[in-house]
Structure 1
Amino acid sequence: MSAVPALTLNNGVAIPQLGFGTFQIPPKDTREAVTTALEIGYRHIDTAEMYGNEKEVGQAVGASGLPREEVFVTSKLDNSYHAYGDALTAFARSLDDLDTPYLDLFLIHWPRPAVGDFTETWRALEEIYASGRAKAIGVSNFQPPHISRLLQKCTVVPAVNQIEVHPYLVQDDVRAFNAEHEIATEAWSPIAKGNVLTDPVLVAAAERLGRTPAQVTLRWHIQRGDIVFPKSVTRARVEENFRLFDFELPEADMAAITALDRGERTGPDPDTFN
Structure 2
Amino acid sequence: MGALGAGTGGIAGERGQLINVAYRLLGSLAESEDAVQDAYARWYALPRSRREEIVSPGAWLTTVTSRICLDVLGSARVRRERYVGAWLPDPLPAPVVRAHGHGPDPADRMILDESVAMAFLVVLETMTPAERVSFVLHDVFRYPFAEIADVLGRTPAACKQLAASARRRVPNAPAPAAADARTEAVRRVKEAWENKDIAALIDILDPAAVMTADGGGLAGAALHPVEGSARIAPYMVAIADRAPGLVLLERSVNGAPGLVGRRGGVVVTVASFDFVEGRVSRIWVVRNPEKLRTWASHQGGEEEAGAPRER
Scaled to the shorter chain, the TM-score interval is: under 0.3
Q: Which has the higher helix share?
A: 2
TM-score, structure 2 as length reference: 0.22
Structure having the higher Rg: 2
TM-score, structure 1 as length reference: 0.24
